[in-house]
């Protein structure tokens, strides 16, 4: 299965994993998805909860996640404006396998830190 990542035609196009991970593997996407997991959130709420993300990147990240069908965006025509974001079914289903990775990260962070410390 892993070999699909590295086959010849995997380069550039039509490799699902590279494609998906290029969207998801950036600094912020996963964080935004996880923050949306509990439920609907507004823009500024995401900004506050994530804390160290810039408006620009939050905006860009949300836009891409929306484009790829992970989140839904709902604008309420009020003043001041209110924009709500929520996970789609696709977004929620994505977090499922992610939990396995998160469990691994929790279990193995110590080992990584140790390796990092050990390798001088």
Partner DNA sequence: CGATCTGGTCTATGTTCGAGACCGAGGACA
Partner DNA sequence: TGTCCTCGGTCTCGAACATAGACCAGATCG
Q: Interface with a second copy by CB under 8 A: which residues?
A: 1-6, 8, 11-12, 16-27, 30-31, 34-35, 37-38, 49-52, 66-69, 90, 93-106, 108-109, 111-112, 114-116, 118-119
**Of 40 and 115, CB closest to a second copy:** 115
Q: For the window 27-46, what string marks contact with DNA as x by the rule CB under 7 A?
A: xx-------------xxxx-
**Of 44 and 67, CB closest to a second copy:** 67
> Residue with structure tokens 């709420």?
45
Residue 59 touches which member of a second copy, DNA, none, C-beta under 5-8 Å by kind? DNA
DSSP state of 10: G
In sequence order, the β-bridge partners of residue 92 are none
Tokens of 1: 């299965």
> Dihedral angle at the C-alpha atoms of 5, 112, 57, 19, nearest 10 degrees?
10
Yes or no: say if 19 and 25 are a contact pair by the CB < 8 Å rule. no
**Of 75 and 110, CB closest to DNA:** 75
Please tell me the distance from the alpha carbon of residue 35 to that of residue 68, in angstroms, as a whole number. Answer: 17
Question: Could you list the residues that contact DNA (CB under 7 A)?
Answer: 26-28, 42-45, 52-57, 59-60, 62-63, 73, 79-83
């Amino acid at each position: 299965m892993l070999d699909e990542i590295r086959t010849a035609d995997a380069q550039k196009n039509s490799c699902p994993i590279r494609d998906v991970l290029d969207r998801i593997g950036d600094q912020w996407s996963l964080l935004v998805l996880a923050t949306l997991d509990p439920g609907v959130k507004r823009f500024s709420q995401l900004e506050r909860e994530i804390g160290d993300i810039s408006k620009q990147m939050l905006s860009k990240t949300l836009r891409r996640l929306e484009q790829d069908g992970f989140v839904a965006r709902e604008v309420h025509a009020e003043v001041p404006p209110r924009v709500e974001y929520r996970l789609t079914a696709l977004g929620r289903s994505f977090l499922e396998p992610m939990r396995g990775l998160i469990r691994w990260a929790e279990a193995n962070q110590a080992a990584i830190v140790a390796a990092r410390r050990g390798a001088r």
